[in-house]
Structure 1
């Protein structure tokens, strides 16, 4: 991995809303991660979702805590310190497995919700939902702008197996209705990432993914970070230090 100081990944993240860093994890580390996840795949816990188009694990670090030390290796910690500072913590974690013949297509959207411990009547916190015993809510824009998402790629990912497509700089416009944008005339980029690499993005960046067309799976661990304390009696449901 290039030293974070050698390439201005932080500027890319701030200016374009995303950046890609290769070789954060070795092939051996990825093998251990995938084998550990596979060993848990038969779980019937409510946080596990299985279909022909998707296998997902919500609250991933809670469900498979033994992977925390391996995921937060020295290379990833260096990235976190350089790009996010020393005071960021985990606020959400999800594992996605897009199978080889998946027809799962995701249209352009922003990630507008956070996971919290309870539902409260708080000004500017809207669109409350509960799914799999997990409360989600759309917080004020300032909270969303503070979040950064790291996507750890367990497979080579490109435009043929559902790599994210993004609209660079779209995170700078705040919360925007997707149906108000003509995406066909936008400067779209495909974020190909090699196995063991990571993509870092801002949740307000418009992103999408296509169906798989090359019979190759796409497995990603999605971890969100923030350094903000939520108001009143509200707290992040998955708050977790990186140490």
Structure 2
């Protein structure tokens, strides 16, 4: 029997084969986070998602699919998407990414399909640094694969594999111009995720996992583990 979260997503305005496919992937990613965090039993979790816009309304499936006892320990936070057409200096863009939480306030941070909407690479990196700052044990971040034959936001195949300028121009010509701005959609591949991990302070232990669609890596998850804190010396 479907739970309320499954039913809500099946009934979303963008429902259909694409939504069902993405929902199946999200269930796999949810299970991957549970394995990474050891189910986070009794621990505090921050769930970071995108604030709804006219283009999308992504469900917080971590909250929706968690058991009631665990759900009570999850804090949901929404990130506002930058405005299209804004050309901020990289240093300014990095300063804009700030979460209203203290260092290490949460045991785990789960970030679902946000980084591809964070803007240029500098802002994507700044976002991950913030996620890492507020985590005590680790960060789990999901994003679609830039190299999959299907672009999951627009539903268009193959065009995004063209050189970026050509792809964005074709989006505008195809009536999908709302997705053409880098501030709205800047997808990543595994190489970009590994580069971000390599630039994190302290060089944390990290890995990039994946879930496949049609036999091709479709969604990645970046896992960052914070070093264990040394025990306090006995008095």
User: TM-score, normalized by length of structure 1?
Assistant: 0.27
Relative contact order, higher structure (CA 8 A, sep 6+) = 1
User: TM-score, normalized by length of structure 2?
Assistant: 0.28
Q: Which has the higher strand share?
A: 1
Q: Which has the higher helix share?
A: 2
